[in-house]
């Protein structure tokens, strides 16, 4: 039985130039029909797989684009179909700095939400304009202040680096601005130019001026140095937290544990089976209304594939992958399965073994995707 659930709200007031998540403009969308469809999927999921949860995460899109009454209906559905202890569960909602209001924050708090993830990306006004964001630095400060006034203590802020026109100096200024907020958690991601985004179209036309791999690596190293100096522990390739404020929900993914995915385009992993929901909102609703599970793809992983995922997901964590946990989970030694790849990566200094864990070195974190690929198809 999964102990975590992700709920996808695919609606946005605007579309950022880099975003490849499953999302649509909220205007003109059948949002109420969508929430009714989600309610049915929640009911089926809880009845089939279990109701008890320890972490919940509402992402998007922009969940807080919903009107207050719609937010209320979403939370009513969650509470009706799932059970969680408000005193111990982690309940996260994503939000944009310019989409939070005191009324919506009060609704979140009343529903048991105890963690906010605020999409900032950068504090620089020119960069914000370049990536299609509509908020400004003062909106971020105001959003954090409002959240604290509403009773939120566990607040996370997202930053990006490798943005068009971004320099190391600009990124260092973003780090300092983020540190000044004194939030509990910081996520720091590199820009990925993905298909079906405005940036991808600009890149294909040769119009997207990116910093380059060397400059991007310098920005990543700057984050790895500056944020720990500010009291934040890097517990995953892109994530930093004050002690005890690591994202328990995201650790579910990196620990290769099970989770439910509710909503259009959501993914789930239950009993060794990965499921991907239909992405287009109206097609998702239509499937639910026909009384069908809204799955676009269903695939049972082989034991071998589960082992590979245990490695390349777990290696994202700073502590790495526990050899004892691998043995307990799969009934064999990690070295018996991946010995050749492990020896190669240890020899070239991208992996190290410490305290019974296999983990990335600092150099390995810079080349993480290459290390992960070393374990795919290894015999």
Shared domain check, 316 and 173: no
Q: Is residue 271 part of a domain?
A: no
Give me the number of domains the chain comprises: 2
How big is the CA angle at 252 (ends 277 and 62), to the nearest 5 degrees? 50
Q: Is 174 exposed, middle or buried (0-12, 13-18, 19+ CB in 10 A)?
A: buried
> Among 109, 205, 123, 208, which residue's Cα sits nearest to residue 165?
208
Report in angstroms the alpha-carbon separations of 130 from 21, 109, 157, 198. Answer: 19, 33, 19, 11
User: pLDDT tens across 293-320, in order?
Assistant: 999 999 999 999 999 999 999 999 999 9
Instruction: In whole angstroms, give the CA distance from residue 44 to residue 38.
Output: 10
Shared domain check, 225 and 307: no
Answer left, alpha or beta for residue 13, where phi above 0 means left and psi between -120 and 50 means alpha. Answer: alpha
Coil, strand or helix: which one is 124?
coil
Q: Is residue 25 part of a domain?
A: yes
Instruction: Report the pLDDT value the prediction gives residue 83, as an integer from 0 to 100.
Output: 97
Residue 39 has pLDDT above 80, yes or no: yes
Residue 66 has pLDDT above 80, yes or no: yes
- 238, 254, 270 - which closes a domain: 254
Q: State phi, psi for 156 to the nearest 5 degrees.
A: -115, 145
Q: Is residue 140 part of a domain?
A: yes
The mean of the pLDDT values for the chain is: 94
Shared domain check, 243 and 338: no
Q: Considering only 21-25, 43-47, 173-177, 198-202, which range has the smallest mean pLDDT?
A: 21-25
Shared domain check, 171 and 67: yes
Shared domain check, 313 and 244: no
Shared domain check, 250 and 350: no
Instruction: State the pLDDT confidence band at 379, using cuts at 50, 70 and 90.
Output: very low
User: pLDDT tens across 208-253, in order?
Assistant: 889 999 999 999 999 999 999 999 999 999 999 999 999 999 999 9
Residue 378 has pLDDT above 60, yes or no: no
Q: Is residue 368 part of a domain?
A: yes
- Higher pLDDT: 379 or 347? It is 347
Report the percent of the chain where pLDDT is more than 70: 99
Q: Is residue 269 part of a domain?
A: no
| CATH code of residue 185 | 3.20.20.70
Shared domain check, 101 and 169: yes
- 197, 226, 254 - which closes a domain: 254
Section 344-351 average pLDDT:
95
User: pLDDT tens across 141-178, in order?
Assistant: 999 999 999 999 999 999 999 999 999 999 999 999 99
| CATH code of residue 334 | 1.10.10.920
Shared domain check, 310 and 171: no
Shared domain check, 352 and 205: no
Instruction: Report the pLDDT value the prediction gives residue 377, as an integer from 0 to 100.
Output: 65
Instruction: Report the pLDDT value the prediction gives residue 330, as an integer from 0 to 100.
Output: 96
Shared domain check, 331 and 187: no
Q: Is residue 323 part of a domain?
A: yes
Q: Is residue 379 part of a domain?
A: no
User: pLDDT tens across 314-341, in order?
Assistant: 999 999 999 999 999 999 999 999 999 9
Q: Is residue 298 part of a domain?
A: no
Range of the domain at 307: 303-373
Instruction: In whole angstroms, give the CA distance from residue 1 to residue 4.
Output: 9
Shared domain check, 227 and 320: no
Shared domain check, 224 and 116: yes
Section 77-94 average pLDDT:
97
């Amino acid at each position: 039985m999964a102990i975590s659930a992700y709920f996808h709200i695919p609606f946005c007031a605007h579309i950022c130039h880099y975003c490849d998540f499953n999302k649509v403009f909220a205007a003109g969308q059948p949002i109420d029909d969508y929430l009714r469809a989600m309610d049915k999927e929640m009911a089926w999921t809880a009845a089939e797989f279990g109701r008890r949860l320890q972490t919940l995460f509402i992402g998007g899109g922009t969940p807080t684009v919903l009107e207050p009454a719609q937010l209320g209906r979403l939370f009513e559905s969650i509470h009706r179909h799932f059970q969680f202890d408000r005193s111990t569960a982690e309940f996260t909602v994503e939000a944009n700095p310019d989409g939070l209001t005191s009324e919506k924050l009060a609704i979140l708090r009343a529903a048991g939400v105890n963690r906010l993830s605020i999409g900032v990306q950068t504090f620089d006004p020119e960069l914000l304009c370049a990536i299609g964001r509509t908020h400004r630095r003062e909106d971020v400060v105001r959003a954090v202040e409002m959240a604290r006034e509403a009773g939120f203590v566990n607040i996370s802020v997202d930053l990006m680096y490798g943005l068009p026109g971004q320099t190391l100096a600009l990124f260092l200024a973003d780090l300092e601005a983020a540190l000044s907020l004194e939030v509990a958690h910081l996520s720091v991601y590199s820009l990925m130019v993905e298909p079906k985004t405005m940036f991808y179209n600009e890149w294909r036309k040769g119009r997207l001026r990116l910093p380059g791999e060397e400059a991007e690596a310098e920005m990543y190293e700057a984050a790895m140095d500056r944020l720990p100096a500010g009291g934040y522990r890097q517990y995953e390739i892109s994530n930093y937290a004050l002690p005890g404020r690591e994202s328990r929900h995201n650790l579910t993914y990196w620990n290769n544990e099970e989770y439910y995915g509710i909503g259009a385009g959501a993914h789930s992993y239950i009993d060794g089976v990965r499921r991907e929901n239909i992405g287009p909102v109206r097609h998702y609703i239509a499937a639910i209304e026909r009384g069908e599970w809204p799955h676009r793809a269903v695939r049972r992983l082989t034991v071998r594939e589960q082992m590979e995922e245990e490695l390349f997901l777990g290696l994202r964590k700073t502590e790495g992958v526990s050899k004892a946990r691998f043995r307990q989970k799969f009934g064999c030694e990690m070295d018996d399965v991946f010995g050749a790849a492990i020896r190669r990566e240890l020899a070239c200094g991208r992996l190290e073994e410490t305290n019974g864990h296999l983990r990335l070195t600092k150099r390995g974190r810079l080349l993480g995707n290459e290390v992960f690929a070393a374990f795919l198809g290894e015999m």
